[in-house]
Amino acid sequence: MKLTHLYATELPELVSSVTPQPPANSTLQLVNTALAEELGLPAQWWQNNYLAGALSDPDFVLCRQSVAQKYGGHQFGHWNPMLGDGRGLLLAEVQNSKQQHIDLHLKGAGPTPYSRHADGRAVLRSTLREYIGGEALHYLGIPSSRSLCLFNSDETIYRETPETAAMMIRTAASHIRFGHFEYYYHHNQHQALQQLFEHTFIHHFPEALKSDNPHQALLRTITLRTARMIALWQAYGFVHGVMNTDNMSIHGITFDYGPFAFLDNFESNAVFNHTDQQGRYAFDQQPGIGLWNLYALSQAFSAFCSQPEIDECLALYEPTFMQQYQQTMLQRIGLNKPDSTKLAVLNRWLSMLSDQQRDYTKTFRQLSLSDIESSAPTLRDQFIDRVAFDEWWHDYQQLRTKEGDTNAQQLMMQTHNPAVIPRTHHLQYVIDSAKQNNFKPAEELLEAIKTPFDTRWDETRWALPPLTTSAVSLSCSS
């Protein structure tokens, strides 16, 4: 194991040293063994609750140089400079098997200078949701932070109600957010901003240094990655819930899971965050918000790029988003190479799902398992308007047949339409069990999401949509 502290040592003025303060009687409950092995972390950490105790020792290798990062962010469209790691600590970076530096970031280990009088804790409910959500998106092929381990505790903390404190360690290429650059730009701290850029170039985007204008190359890369990530969110029905710029990663990965959810019935304007009264971060608003956030970030590049250079980068967002979205969506219905006819059939399919309130994930899955040669597939029974379905099915059959190899199409569909996603009601079942100190359901769901496209899950509880489709309202509190 090779640990480094590059962010902490190279940018000392941008961090605050903070020693972790784990909740009382913390207990290691979940370990991502495969990820731990990939990172070359000591086996001892995961035995006999060793790591839980070690994180209370200031001299432990992960605690000696732990820091909280300072940043700002646009929250619901309004600039807020009073942000930073309020409950998170960057413990260290570890080199993985590809010699890449990966952050080890502890969440829920007590207050920092950026906690704004909060307790710096995280609750078991939200910690479990983030742990499972991050792994689920990873295995769906959507870029995301990863989950390394989770700790339960005996400590009670207060949010809307009394809850149990928990911690987790997550990993990412870095924890640098849009809000980092925004903070130093808006505070006219030009030297700090330049140092942050230099660190980012050297350790995360060295290829940008080969360009005539490295800053423009960096903005272009962030734009492309963000567009592709959000396109995949839209393709798989994922709603982040709180797309503030402090929750946006420069690496184009899904980050800071709060009131996230996957769609059940297909509602294009679905909102799950109960504090988002205006629907700013609704499902169908996410693509536009992604671009809005990039515009906010781009201001920090204005000293290094001309406005035309910035505009050139941001102009790549929409075509990149559309290319990724159309490609993925057509793969989900067994078609290749977008054209107007195929996209029209895709849009009619989505309209039927919306108009007849069909379950987004399950109906796509049923389509992927349907016999394309059948004149009346069992999928037809899912739709009240049979005439509309029959007309659509006829046109869809023709397209599939025209493309040729229907077996290859079927295989493609079955590897792009999951049987298992971490639905809100599944997560609630896992949370309720964990509150009773039973983490077996969590382990079962984590096992299922590792192979979300496998047919062995189709007849299990993890493939079932909720029995009712009442509105889901989730809290940001963690």
Q: State the maximum Cα–Cα separation within the chain, in Å, rounded to a whole number.
A: 70
Q: What is the DSSP letter of 174?
A: -
User: Amino acid identity, residue 111?
Assistant: P
What pTM does this model have? 0.97
Task: Return per-residue pLDDT of the chain as tens, 478 residues.
Answer: 899 999 999 999 999 999 999 999 999 999 999 999 999 999 999 999 999 999 999 999 999 999 999 999 999 999 999 999 999 999 999 998 888 999 999 999 999 999 998 999 999 999 999 999 999 999 999 999 999 999 999 999 999 899 999 999 999 999 999 999 999 999 999 999 999 999 999 999 999 999 999 999 999 999 999 999 999 999 999 999 999 999 999 999 999 999 999 999 999 999 999 899 899 999 999 999 999 999 999 999 999 999 999 999 999 999 999 999 999 999 999 999 999 999 999 999 999 999 999 999 999 999 999 999 999 899 999 999 999 999 999 999 999 999 888 899 999 999 999 999 999 999 999 999 999 999 999 999 999 999 999 999 999 999 999 988 766 778 765 5
Residue type at 83 in one-letter notation: L
Residue 354 and residue 440 in one domain:
no
Question: 233: number of CA atoms within 13 Å, CB side?
Answer: 33
The CA-based angle 386-389-392, given to 5 degrees, is 150
Q: Which of 162, 178, 194 is the last residue of a domain?
A: 178
| Three-state secondary-structure class, residue 342 | helix
What whole-number distance in Å separates Cα of residue 393 and Cα of residue 343? Answer: 14
For 293-330, the three-class secondary structure string (H helix, E strand, C coil) is HHHHHHHHHCCCCCHHHHHHHHCCHHHHHHHHHHHHHH
Establish if 266 belongs to a structural domain.
no
Average pLDDT, rounded, for the chain: 96
Same domain, 93 and 36: yes
Residues 74 and 11 grouped into a single domain: yes
pLDDT at 470: 66
Same domain, 54 and 167: yes
User: 19 and 140: one domain?
Assistant: yes
Among residues 414, 445, 472, the one where a domain terminates is 414
Beta strand extents in 33-183 (DSSP E only): 67-75, 78-84, 88-95, 101-107, 122-123, 146-152, 156-158, 162-172
CB within 8 A of 31, min separation 6: which ones? Answer: 46, 148, 149
207, part of any domain:
no
Considering the domain architecture, whether residues 8 and 129 belong to the same structural domain is answered as: yes
Q: Is residue 473 part of a domain?
A: no
Does 26 fall in a domain? yes
Looking at the structure, do residues 345 and 446 belong to the same domain, yes or no? no
Q: Are residues 338 and 446 in the same domain?
A: no
Catalytic residue among 85, 119, 246, 276: 246
Whether residue 434 sits in one domain with residue 409: no
Locus of tokens 């190479």: 337
pLDDT score recorded for residue 474: 82
Pair 101, 8 in one domain: yes
Q: Are residues 345 and 442 in the same domain?
A: no
Structure tokens at 92: 């260290």
Alpha-carbon distance 404 to 278, whole Å? 46
pLDDT at residue 405, rounded to an integer: 83
- pLDDT of res. 471: 65
Number of domains, the chain: 3
Q: What is the domain extent for residue 131?
A: 3-178
The residues facing 340 across adjacent strands are none
- 316 in a structural domain: no
Is the dihedral angle over the CA atoms 78, 83, 88, 93 positive or is it negative? Answer: positive
Angle formed at CA 122 by CA 222 and CA 252, multiple of 5 degrees:
10
Last residue of a domain, one of 178, 202, 218: 178
The reported pLDDT for the residue numbered 477 is: 58
Active site residue 246: yes
Residue 295 within a domain: no
Q: 93 with 65: CB under 8 angstroms?
A: no
Beta-carbon contacts of 184 under 8 Å, excluding residues fewer than 6 positions away, are 14, 190, 192, 193, 196, 300
Residues 451, 384 share a domain: no
CB 298 within 8 A of CB 317: no
Distances (CA, A) of 434 to 165, 274, 429, 442: 12, 24, 9, 8
Residue 208 lies in a domain: no
Residue 105 lies in a domain: yes
* DSSP run (H or E) holding 332: helix 317-332
Instruction: For residues 336 and 400, give the distance between their C-alpha atoms in angstroms, rounded to a whole number.
Output: 10
